[in-house]
Structure 1
Amino acid sequence: MLLVGCCGWCLGRQRYYASFNVVELQDTFYEMPDEGRLRSLRGEAPEGFRFTMKAWQAVTHPPGGPTWRRARHRVPEELADRYGNLRTTKENLEAWDVIARAARALGASVVVVQTPPGFGASEDNVRQAAEFFRAVATRDFTIGWEPRGTWRSRPDLIAKVIGDLDGVIHVVDPFRASPAVERPVVYFRLHGIGGGEVNYRYRYTDNDLEALCNKVRGLREAREVYVMFNNVFMKDDASRFKSLCAV
């Protein structure tokens, strides 16, 4: 099954529901997720529509970093060193419980856990990430880990973290990397081509989208493939890809 959508609402919701079959919520990263609001959102969506969500930054990004500047809800300053970087502290695991309850209320099929570049590829972080994912793995939804920074050159270490965890997948930009571990669920986040790790102002060409479609068609073992555009032109690029790639 191919699911095509955007990272965030690029249209009014009713128009979006008519255009795509999945959306990745972004506000759940910047703010503590509101379980009641997400349950209402699930209730308004048409049958068969999929939601995914980005995990609250409390579990991934240490407080005080740039992504926290726009957050209204802040963690206590005296406990700041207990949050972020996939720590298995009491506070970080409680923050994950908030995420998990919200994901269940939303009926999310995938929760994207994006770690910052500062949480780089190292043996210590391999142990820390593996311990965290073992602690939070669930049958209620798939956990998609999108490691940033130096992990891209160390797929062996990514596989070491999630290789024996069936409910955790490796989220990648397919123009930059391939999943380190094959899973029945594949989740692509497209951040533009060139410009380092992201190039949000990139507009995908027809040749790009054809190459992406060929890549999707080559995933013979995949049960579900999410193709989520996360660039300035995501509405148009996702619409063009959906029309081009009927699989």
Structure 2
Amino acid sequence: MIKVGTCGFCEARSKYFRDFDAVEVQQTFYRILQEKTLERWRKEAPEGFTFSIKAFQGVTHPANSPTWRRSNVKPGKDVGLLRPTSDVLHFWRVTLKEAETLGARFILIQLPKSFRESDESFANAEKFFEMIDRGNFEIAVELRGWSEKGIKRFVREFDVIDVTDPLVRIPLHTGDVSYYRLHGRYENGRIIYSHSYSDEELQKARERVIGWNRGESFVFFNNSDMCKDAKRFKTLLAG
């Protein structure tokens, strides 16, 4: 089974729920959402629809991250980078509550480049995952700038799903669920979100997602033309 969606609602929700099988909710990364908002989305979604939510940035991003400019919360100095601080653990509980309210299947932990491949990062992650309640959610982690060896160690030690771009590399976890994010193109280590995928790129992604599929795959587009490209990808899969 392969489900396709976008990172955030790329069109009116009523239409989105007709066009797609899943969504990765982005708002939960930037802001703490009202319970009634999440309850409404859950009620509007059709049966079998899959929600993934992006963990609040207080869990992952330090206070100097520019992403905080869009937040409705003022960060303390001890936020982010999976540090097992009271602030980070508090924001994880907030994320967990939102996931429960929404009826999500996944929580995505997207870590910034400042979460470097180091002994300190592994030590923080070890304490973080020991201390948190995972609920009944599958945890997907996107590590940026890490080696394949480091990613493989991380996802195995902490029993999480390795989030990758299928046009970049194969997932390194051993489970039956794959989680992909297609951000656009890459230049000198930077993501260029302003990108429309070519037919050849989408066909290559299709072949890899199908070829690597162990049971279930979730494919989320996060580029400037994500709505259009995700629909094209769905058509390719159907064909």
Q: TM-score range by the shorter chain?
A: over 0.9
Confirm whether residue 147 of structure 1 aligns to residue 159 of structure 2: no
The one-letter amino acid paired with 1:13 is: R
- Please give the alpha-carbon distance, in whole angstroms, between the structure 1 residues aligned to 2:168 and 2:190: 8
1:123-138 matched pairs, under 5 angstroms: 123-136=119-132, 138=134
- In the alignment, the residues of structure 2 paired with residue 81 and residue 73 of structure 1 have an alpha-carbon distance, to the nearest angstrom, of 13
Instruction: Determine the C-alpha separation between the residues in 2 that align with 1:137 and 1:188.
Output: 24
3-state SS, counterpart of residue 23 of structure 2: strand
Partner of 2:35: 35
CA contact (8 A) 2:52 2:105 kept: yes
| 1:19 is aligned to 2:19 | yes
Distance 1:103 1:111, change over 3 A: same
Map of 1:27-66 to 2, 5 A cutoff?
A: 27-66=27-66
| 8 A Cα contact 1:54 1:111, kept in partner | yes
Say what the alpha-carbon RMSD is for the aligned residues: 1.6
- 1:100 is aligned, of 80, 96, 115, to 96
What is the deviation of 1:2? 0.6
Q: What are the Cα deviations for residues 1-39 of structure 1, in whole angstroms up to 9, with x where unaligned?
A: 111010011111111111101111111000123333212
Q: Deviations over 1:26-53 (max 9, x none)?
A: 1100012333321221011111111111
Give the corresponding residue for 1:212. Answer: 205
Map of 1:119 onto structure 2 = 115
Tell me the percent identity: 39
Structure 2 partner of 1:174? 166
User: Is 1:162–2:158 an aligned residue pair?
Assistant: no
Q: Which amino acid aligns with 1:189?
A: R
Q: Which stretches of structure 1, 4 residues or more, deviate above 3 A after TM superposition?
A: none
**What amino acid maps onto 1:97 in structure 2?**
R
In the superposition, the TM-score normalised over structure 1's length comes to 0.90
In structure 2, list runs of 5 or more residues that go unmatched.
none
TM-score scaled by structure 2?
A: 0.93
